[in-house]
Structure 1
């Protein structure tokens, strides 16, 4: 899944909320590329985003 697709999915999820600045912040901290864990399941790039969708 591309970064743009991930951002589109998150935009759809955040629609109708007070999300001013949140999308930029998520990108600035590496949310879309970050692992969900360092040593357990989800320890691969992008897993934090994937886990957030579940």
Structure 2
């Protein structure tokens, strides 16, 4: 059974590209640099940790 549907957006391909991009970027950073990067990105997006 073959399906020939042309996708406008491929979520799996996008996720893999993002994973590869982050992996390449993080491989050049120290643990502290990675944590600082993630913290600043979280603040930029306006995400707040839920209180424990």
TM range (shorter): 0.3 to 0.5
Greater helix share, 1 or 2? 2
Scaled by the length of structure 1, the TM-score of the pair is 0.33
Scaled by the length of structure 2, the TM-score of the pair is 0.34
Greater RCO between the two (CA within 8 Å, min separation 6)? 1
